[in-house]
């Protein structure tokens, strides 16, 4: 049986999702729980490779196993063995060829900014704080320039795989900036992401909010592909994966065709 699980986790204590040899990761903690429940350690396919400190409200993963525990019982069973900062939210069977990463046709991330002179002790590890005033209207005007299909070389960490091979075209379908009191949230939906793309995008919008970048300059930054003209890479702690979308046919019986692969955000 191929099982799709949805997780929520706070990434503060972890070196990202993917297993690493010398650091605790979300995947390692999850596989430890799987082994405790199933008596085996199946290979896990995650929807994305999140960086150290990045959080998730709706992380998708799948794995195959031949046991007899029904998916709905896996939720409580796994949660009983997981640390409190990782929780399984749901489980369901999916076609045998379903892959949590390659089947995704859109992912939504948000970046949380506390616009205040003082940290909030309750969310300091899930927000990035900046004291200077932010003009949210200017940030939204800049965000509007990023919607559509573009070459996002300027919004990719230098030396990363896609940047090195020229595979840097992505489609952003929505990019919004919202303020609620001191909290400013940048939310992005796209068909795929480059390495550090959302964190660089958020840093660029902050420059617009500070009045240091004209929103009208964004098309030229995209066209020139110059990383130096985009904003800083903001810290990982403000980044959340908030939704992974799959075409309905990808979740249905296996006779349906396999979906097109998409690039992950890291």
Q: What is the CATH number of the domain that holds 123?
A: 3.30.70.660
Cβ(154)–Cβ(220) below 8 Å: no
Q: Are residues 90 and 110 in the same domain?
A: no
Q: Is 120 a catalytic residue?
A: no
Q: Are residues 37 and 14 in the same domain?
A: yes
pLDDT band per the 50, 70, 90 thresholds, residue 251: confident
Would you list which residues are annotated within the binding site? Answer: 109
Domain that holds residue 203: 106-242
Domain boundary among 103, 118, 148: 103
pLDDT band per the 50, 70, 90 thresholds, residue 49: confident
Q: Are residues 110 and 236 in the same domain?
A: yes
Q: Are residues 122 and 93 in the same domain?
A: no
Which ranges of 114-234 does DSSP label H, i.e. alpha helix? 136-144, 161-165, 197-209, 218-224
For 95-205, strand residue ranges (E) read 106-115, 128-130, 148-151, 169-180, 183-190
For 191-245, write each residue's pLDDT tens digit. 999 999 999 999 999 999 999 999 999 999 999 999 999 999 999 999 999 999 9
Predicted pLDDT of residue 165 = 60
Q: Are residues 98 and 113 in the same domain?
A: no
Q: Are residues 113 and 213 in the same domain?
A: yes
Asked, for residue 185, whether it belongs to a domain, the answer is yes
Please name which of 243, 122, 265 lies closest in space to residue 199, comparing C-alpha atoms: 265
Q: Are residues 50 and 125 in the same domain?
A: no
Decide: helix, strand or coil at residue 171: strand
d(CA 148, CA 78): 40
Domain count, the chain: 2
Cβ(98)–Cβ(45) below 8 Å: no
For residue 62, give both structure tokens.
């799948």
The single-letter DSSP state of residue 98 is -
Asked, for residue 247, whether it belongs to a domain, the answer is no
User: Is residue 263 classed exposed, middle or buried when 0-12, 13-18 and 19+ CB atoms within 10 A define those classes?
Assistant: buried
Domain boundary among 78, 103, 128: 103
Q: Is residue 141 over pLDDT 90?
A: yes
> Active-site residue among 32, 43, 51, 97?
51
Q: Are residues 205 and 227 in the same domain?
A: yes
Q: Are residues 111 and 94 in the same domain?
A: no
Q: Are residues 111 and 38 in the same domain?
A: no
Would you list which residues are annotated within the binding site for substrate? Answer: 109
Asked, for residue 74, whether it belongs to a domain, the answer is yes
Q: Is residue 58 over pLDDT 80?
A: yes
Q: Are residues 33 and 74 in the same domain?
A: yes
Domain boundary among 103, 134, 164: 103
Q: How far is CA 181 from CA 114, 134, 138, 184, 216, in A?
A: 9, 12, 17, 8, 27
d(CA 127, CA 104): 26
Asked, for residue 49, whether it belongs to a domain, the answer is yes
What's this model's pTM, rounded to 2 decimal places? 0.90
- How big is the chain, counted in residues? 266
Q: Are residues 203 and 175 in the same domain?
A: yes
CATH (domain of 6): 3.30.70.580
Asked, for residue 262, whether it belongs to a domain, the answer is no
């Amino acid at each position: 049986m191929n099982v799709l699980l949805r997780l929520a986790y706070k990434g503060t204590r972890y070196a990202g999702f993917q297993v690493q040899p010398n650091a605790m990761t979300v995947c390692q903690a999850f596989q430890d729980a799987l082994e405790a429940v199933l008596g085996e350690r199946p290979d896990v396919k995650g929807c994305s490779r999140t960086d150290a400190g990045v959080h998730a409200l709706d992380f998708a993963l799948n794995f195959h196993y031949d046991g007899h525990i029904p998916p709905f019982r896996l939720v409580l069973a796994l949660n009983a063995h997981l640390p409190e900062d990782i929780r399984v939210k749901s489980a369901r069977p999916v076609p045998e060829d379903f892959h949590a990463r390659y089947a995704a046709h859109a992912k939504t991330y948000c970046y949380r900014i506390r616009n205040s002179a003082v940290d909030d002790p309750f969310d300091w590890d899930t927000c990035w704080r900046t004291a200077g005033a932010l003009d949210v209207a200017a940030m939204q005007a800049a965000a509007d320039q990023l919607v559509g299909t573009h070459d996002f070389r300027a919004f990719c960490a230098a030396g990363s795989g896609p940047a090195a091979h020229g595979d840097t075209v992505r489609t952003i379908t929505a990019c919004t900036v919202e303020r609620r009191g001191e909290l400013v949230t940048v939310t992005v939906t796209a068909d795929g992401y480059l390495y550090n793309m959302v964190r660089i995008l958020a840093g660029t919008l902050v420059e617009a909010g500070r009045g240091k970048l004209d929103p009208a300059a964004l098309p030229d930054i995209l066209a020139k592909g110059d990383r130096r003209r985009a904003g800083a890479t903001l810290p990982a702690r403000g980044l959340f994966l908030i939704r992974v979308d799959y075409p309905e046919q990808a979740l249905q019986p296996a006779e349906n065709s396999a979906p097109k692969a998409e690039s992950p955000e890291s």
